[in-house]
Amino acid sequence: MTTPDRRTAQERGIKMGNRVIEEFHPRVNQLISATIHVAGEQDLRIDTHGSHADRGGHIAVASDNLLIYLHDQKSAKVYADAWIDAWYIASHLPKKVATEPRAETGPVMMVRAYGSDTVRHVHDTARDIAVIRIGRLAWMLHDQAAWTSAAATWRNVADIAPVVLAPHNTDRSPHRDGHRPRPAEPTIQPVTRAGLDL
């Protein structure tokens, strides 16, 4: 039978001597992957703020559970193309599957999209679903109705992106404060007649 260790924390610390405890630094602070199952007609809402000229615009695409902020034209193209180009895998799905009525909910996750990301399309024949993966988000499509309604919204995003969003988030505007530099004074050239200065 072992006796309980009745030493205090301070006594234990003294016995440890000068041992150095290295700090632990995780490589990644947080890493989140999300899977969204979609079936039936999707109610996606678009909201915009600002304009390409303001260089502070964004496009928000909201569904029942997900809110996506697009901050530049490149990110809008990645998301829109991923949905529009999924027509082939979506065409193998049933027209519509039975769904239960949705409860009124708000978005439970928000994504801020900048620049490009990896896109993959997969037709999972075993489960009879189509998968659209953008970065660490994966949408599991269960029927064509889900794709048709969502793709229509993303086509609208593609149309308005050049008006609302800056081309790239890394671009710097030389006129961020609204002031334009004064044009240089024109240089006055001497007037000559027959090669003689006047």
Give the span between the Cα atoms of 130 and 122, in whole angstroms: 6
Tokens of 175: 């006129």
Ordered by start, the domain boundaries in the chain are 31-167
How much is the average pLDDT of 75-83? 97
Whether the CB-CB separation of 109 and 64 falls below 8 Å is answered with no
pLDDT at 117: 94
Tokens of 48: 């915009």
pLDDT at 5: 54
Identity (one letter) of the amino acid at 99?
T
Q: How many residues does the chain have?
A: 198
Q: Angle CA(43)–CA(47)–CA(49) in degrees, nearest 5?
A: 170
The pTM (predicted TM-score) of the whole model is: 0.68
> Could you read off the pLDDT of 119-167 as tens digits, one per residue?
999 999 999 999 999 999 999 999 999 999 999 999 999 999 998 998 8
pLDDT at 30: 74
- Residue 108 pLDDT greater than 90, yes or no: no
> Could you read off the pLDDT of 18-77 as tens digits, one per residue?
555 556 566 667 778 899 999 999 999 999 987 766 666 899 999 988 999 999 999 999
- Angstrom CA distances, 149 to 43, 143, 169, 172, stand at 8, 11, 29, 36
Orientation of helix 144-164 relative to helix 73-84, angle to 10°: 160
- Residue 14 pLDDT greater than 90, yes or no: no
Give the span between the Cα atoms of 112 and 58, in whole angstroms: 10
CA neighbours within 13 Å on the CB side: how many for 4?
Answer: 2
